[in-house]
Amino acid sequence: MWRIGTNSLHPASPDELIPAGLLQVPAGVVIFDTELRIIALNEAAEHLACGPPAMAWAGRRLGEVLPRLDAGLIERSLRRVLATGEPVLELEVSTRDDDPGEECFWSCVQFRVYGSEGEIAGVACAMVDITERARNQRRLALVDEASARIGTTLDIRRTAEELLDVAIPRLADVGAVDLLAAVIESDGSAPRAHDQALMQRVALRWPAGRPAPREYLRRELQDWAEFDVARPYHQSLVAGAPVFVPTFGDMTPEQLAAMDSGTGLSRMLAARAAGAHSVMALPLIARGAIMGMTVLYRLAGTRPFTRADLALAKDLVGRASLSIDNARHFTRERATAVELQAGLLPRTIPQVPGLELACRYVPAQAAARVGGDWFDVIPLPGDRCAVTVGDVTGHDIRAAAVMGQLRTATHTLATLDLTPAETLTRLDQLTADLTDEETSATCVYAVHNLATGDWDIARAGHPAPALVSPGHPAVFLDLPPGLPLGIDVGRRDYQAIRLHVPRDSTLVLYTDGLIENPADDISTGMARLAEILTTTGTLPVGEACDAVLGALAPHPADDIAVLMART
C-alpha cells in the first residue's frame, strides 16, 4: 500500500490508514480522503482500466485517472458510505456507455477508513475485475431470452423479426435478415446457394431515435436482389462461413466494393454512409439447408464487434435457423393439405328447388390444423335433397384423405335411399375400416322433402344444428347426440328426428371450429353463434355465412365448414 505525497511515494504505516490485511488484497484498492481525492492505492490499482502510474494519482479524482470508468456511480456510492458508515459489499460498475472501447466490469467493496485517533479519515474502494463473468451472464441472459422469444410462431417472416427483436439493440445497432426465394415460397426444393439465386429482405431493424437515411432504407427495402456467384459474400454463404468485419476503417474502398454481390453486404457501402462501422454477416443454416443470411451492424459511437459477439450471434442465428426451417416445412405441408382439402370438397353446390343454399370452408390460419372438415349437397329422387357436414379428427394430410373417402361414401349411400340414421350406421362401419383406433369422425346428415317441407336429421357426435325461423331467435335442435363414427362399431344408436319448419326458416350445419375457443367454454361459443344467427336471419344465406364467419372466426385456429339451407 502506498501513501501518495506531492512529490514522492512513501510506504504508509498500515495503522495510519487501513488494516494490514488489505496490503495483501489482490484487488485494486484506492483510498480517498473525505473530499474523495485519492490519497493512497496499492499496486494492483495501477492496472485498473490501464490507469496511469501511481505518481499521477496524487490528489486527483477517480474519473481523472480512470476516464473509461463510470466514476460518477462509484463516487455517489462513496459519499453514502462516508455519510452513513454502512459499507457496500457489492457494487457493479463498468466503462461508460459513450466509451468506444471494449466494455469492462468491476465489482466494488466500499467502507470507511479511520485515522489513528478514530476519526473518519476517508473511504476505501476495493475493485475486482469481473468482466468475463459479467459478459458471460449477459450472454446467457440473451440466449435464454432468445429461447423464449424466437420461434413463437410457424411464420417465416415473423421468426426473422423475432431474431432481430432479440439482437437489437443489445447485440447490434442495426440488423437485417435476407432469405432465399426457395425458402420464402416453400416450393419443396432444398434451398441452395450454389447458383444465381434471388434473395429477399424480410426483416429490418434500425435503432429507435436514430432514423435511417433515406438512401439506406431505399436500398435495404427493395423487394428482391440477385446473387453474384463470383462475389465473396455469396461464396461465404455457400461455405456456411460468417463474414466478420470488426472495423470498416481497416478495409480499403476497393475491398468494400469487392463485397458487393447484389444483396446482404452489397448494402455495406450505404450502411457505412449511414454511420455503420462494424459488421457481421452470418448464414442461416439448418439441417444442412442454406436459407439466407443475417447481417448485423454497429453504428458510430458504439464499440466494434468482438469475437465474443460473433460467438453469441452464431448462437442466436442458429436458433432462428431451426425455427425458420420448421416454419418452411410447416408452410409447405400446410399448403399441400389446403390444396388437397380444396380438391376433395365440392367446387360448386347444385341448385335445389325449394332451397336457398350456401356453403363455406375456411382453413385454419394459426397452426397446422387443416384437413378434416367437409360439407356436401346431394340431390335425391322425389324432390328431396340431402345436406351433410362432417369433421375427421386430426389436422393433417391423412385427415384430408379420410375426409375425401367419407364424402365419397356418403354420396354412394345417398343413392341407396337410406334414412339418415341408416346412413350414419353404414358410415360408422366404413370409418372404422378406414382409420385407426385414434381417428374418428363426426357428422350430421339431413334430408329435406320439398313436397312436405319436412327435414329428417341425425347426427353422430357432431355439434347440434341451429334453426333460425322468421321472427324468432335462433335455437339449437334437440337431436340425439349419437357416437362419433368409427369408435364403437356395433352400437346402432343413431336416431333421427323429423322436423317441419316454417317457410323462410334456415337450417345451419357447422363444424366445431366455429364455436370452440380455448379461452371460453363451448356453451359461450354456441351462445355467440345463436346471437349472430338471430341478427343475420333475414340476410341472403351467402351473406349470412360470411357474417357469421367474420364475427366468430376472423382468424380461425381450426378449419371450419358451414352450410346454410333456407326453405
User: How would DSSP label each residue in 91-103?
Assistant: EEEEB-TT--S--
State residue 25's pLDDT score: 66
User: How confident is the model over 67-94, as a mean pLDDT?
Assistant: 89
State residue 5's pLDDT score: 39
- Report the C-alpha gap between 485 and 494 in whole angstroms: 10
The pLDDT of residue 57 is above 50: yes
State residue 255's pLDDT score: 62
The pLDDT of residue 238 is above 90: no
User: How confident is the model over 337-342, as a mean pLDDT?
Assistant: 70
The pLDDT of residue 171 is above 70: yes
The pLDDT of residue 395 is above 80: no
State residue 256's pLDDT score: 62
Confidence of residue 439 (pLDDT cuts 50, 70, 90): confident
Neighbours of 104 (CB within 10 A): 20
SS (H, E, C) 498-511: EEECCCCCEEEEEC
The pLDDT of residue 237 is above 80: no
412 against 219, higher pLDDT: 412
Average pLDDT of the residues of the chain: 80
3-state secondary structure of 77: helix
At 442-452, the pLDDT tens digits run 999 999 999 89
The single-letter code of the amino acid at 149 is R
At 285-301, the pLDDT tens digits run 888 888 888 889 888 77
* Torsion sign (Cα): 371, 351, 464, 560: positive
Instruction: Say if residues 193 and 290 touch (Cβ distance below 8 Å).
Output: yes
Could you tell me the three cell numbers for 260?
458487393
State residue 10's pLDDT score: 37
At 461-492, the pLDDT tens digits run 999 999 999 889 999 999 999 899 888 655 66
Confidence of residue 24 (pLDDT cuts 50, 70, 90): low
State residue 274's pLDDT score: 65
176 against 265, higher pLDDT: 176
Helices (H), 168-285: 181-185, 214-220, 232-239, 253-258, 268-273
Neighbours of 36 (CB within 10 A): 18
Instruction: Say if residues 58 and 38 touch (Cβ distance below 8 Å).
Output: yes
Q: What are phi and psi of 57, to 5 degrees?
A: -90, -15
- Report the C-alpha gap between 492 and 496 in whole angstroms: 12
Which residues are within 8 A (CB) of 161 and not within 5 positions of it... i.e. 6 or more apart? 177, 202, 203, 205
The single-letter code of the amino acid at 383 is D
DSSP calls for 330-377: HHHHHHHHHHHHHHHS-SS----TT-EEEEEEE--SSSS--S-EEEEE
- Report the C-alpha gap between 397 and 338 in whole angstroms: 9
Helix (H) or strand (E) holding 123: strand 120-129
Neighbours of 24 (CB within 10 A): 8
272 against 14, higher pLDDT: 272
Domains and CATH numbers, the chain: 2-129 (3.30.450.20), 134-336 (3.30.450.40), 345-566 (3.60.40.10)
DSSP type of residue 484: P
The pLDDT of residue 227 is above 80: no
State residue 479's pLDDT score: 92
- Report the C-alpha gap between 391 and 404 in whole angstroms: 11
- Report the C-alpha gap between 524 and 535 in whole angstroms: 17
Instruction: Say if residues 558 and 509 touch (Cβ distance below 8 Å).
Output: no
Please classify residue 441 by burial: count the beta carbons closer than 10 Å to its beta carbon, then call 0-12 exposed, 13-18 middle and 19+ buried. Answer: buried
514 against 18, higher pLDDT: 514
